[in-house]
Amino acid sequence: MQKRSPRIAVVPGDGIGVEVIAEGVRVLKHLAPDLELEHFDLGADRYLRDGVTLPDDVFMRWRDEFDAIFLGALGDPRVPSNVHAKEILLGSRFRYDLYINQRPIRLLDARKCPLKGKGPSDVDIMVFRENTEGLYTAVGGVLKKDTPDEVAQEACVVTRKGVERIIRAAFEWADANGKRRVCMSDKSNAMRNVGQLWQKVFRIVAAEYPHIEASHLYVDVLAMELVRAPERFEVIVTGNLFGDIITDLGAILQGGIGLACSGNIHPGQLGLFEPVHGSAPDIAGQGKANPMATFLTAGMMLANLGRPELEVRIIEAVRVLLLADQTTPELGGTLTTSQVTDALLEQLG
Ligand code: IPM
Ligand code: MG
């Protein structure tokens, strides 16, 4: 029996998300014309129009009928609470239990790295960020609101299962991709309870992969070491908030947030793929947005749909464009958003 074509829910979202996703869709149609793409009108406009963020029927259709969500960016000055972004992005991560947030830090063009003397072989790291617990669970509360005695609490909620599955995902990925070093990062010198659980589970899982070197760094030291000697790292596994921060640092090491891609994954289930950058309302609609992070995100999505060779082709084509300065102005080129796509499609052949 022939397997049906993968079905992708396309959510351009807000600001430059709309522009970069349109370009990403051109690349998807070129490389994988069999994909079934369905667009969903979700984001700030929709929220302002009818109060809808992520409706239940859409949530269930995605879960039951789709293989991936291809998301642009969410965030709009007209929605200062950012409630739609929280409910669509964090809502999908939590409700679909997308426990792996996989974010490569991969330098393609040495000239784009802000570190002196570092090239592509020095900056090639895969970060596994835990995506469903930690400081993101919204467990906590406030007391005596709007009084001088106001109290606020945000709990760091961590489960043994949650820690184990993200650590295992990091080792499995390392094993499958010929990597020999996994570094776990936490803050167990200050956060004792959560830290001890991470430490214990890391030791237990690491013992199952004796051929892979397992190391540990406190997250403050990791931040320092990523700048001093990124070549030390192949795979990093860490909690939700630390992963958020470290991958923004990593985005700059690879040439900027315009090149950073990510996948929110639960193996065997629907995944959500998004460029790491935001909606950048200040440059929206001007053709200035860099679509490369979206191309690389499309690549990750295709790899997760079982077509890793297409991801390799996208990465290599982006590399060629970078080396030829065929980029948007923030990376030194003179092309508009859609001209970058034209160049990429030509490169892909
Ligand atoms: C990211 C973003 C989100 C996060 C925000 C928008 C809640 O920074 O995807 O890295 O913190 O996870
Ligand atoms: Mg972030």
In the chain, pLDDT over 90 holds for what percent of residues?
A: 99
Question: How far, in Å, CA of 296 to CA of 300, rounded?
Answer: 6
DSSP H helices, the chain, are 16-31, 44-50, 56-65, 83-85, 91-95, 160-176, 192-206, 219-228, 240-253, 292-304, 308-323, 337-348
CA of 4 to the centre of ligand 2 (A): 34
CA distance 178 to 169: 14
What pLDDT, on the 0 to 100 scale, is given for residue 259? 97
Mean pLDDT of 320-337: 97
For β-strands 7-13 and 68-73, DSSP reports them as: parallel
Atom of ligand 1 nearest to the CA of 90: 7
Calculate mean pLDDT across residues 70-90: 96
Residues taking part in catalysis: 136, 187, 220, 244, 248
Q: Which of 164, 261, 170, 183 is nearest to 223 (CA)?
A: 183
Phi, psi of 253 (to 5 degrees): -60, -30
pLDDT digits (tens, 9 = 90+) for 100-121: 999 999 999 999 999 999 999 9
- The full set of domains in the chain, from first to last, is 1-99+266-349 (3.40.718.10), 100-260 (3.40.718.10)
CA 248 to ligand 1: nearest atom: 10
> What is the Å distance from ligand 2's center to 148 Cα?
32
Q: What is the number of the ligand 1 atom nearest to the C-alpha of 262?
A: 9
For a mutational test of ligand 1's pocket, the pick from 244, 247, 261, 273, i.e. the residue with the most ligand atoms closer than 8 A to its C-beta, is 244
**Rounded distance from Cα 245 to ligand 2 centre (Å):** 6
Q: pLDDT tens for residues 12-58?
A: 999 999 999 999 999 999 999 999 999 999 999 999 999 999 999 99
Residues within 5 Å of ion ligand 2, judged at the Cβ atom: 244
Using the predicted structure, report yes or no on whether residue 2 has a pLDDT greater than 60: no
- Tell me the pLDDT tens digit for each residue of 174-190: 999 999 999 999 999 99
Whole-number average pLDDT of the chain: 97
Query: What are the φ and ψ backbone dihedral angles of 196, each rounded to 5 degrees?
Result: -65, -35
Which tokens belong to 159? 């489960």
Q: What is the 8-class DSSP label of residue 134?
A: B
Residue 247 CA to ligand 2 centre (angstroms) = 7
Q: pLDDT band at 4, cuts 50/70/90? A: confident
**Banded model confidence at residue 159, pLDDT cuts 50, 70, 90:** very high
Pocket of ligand 1 (CB under 6 A): 90, 244, 276
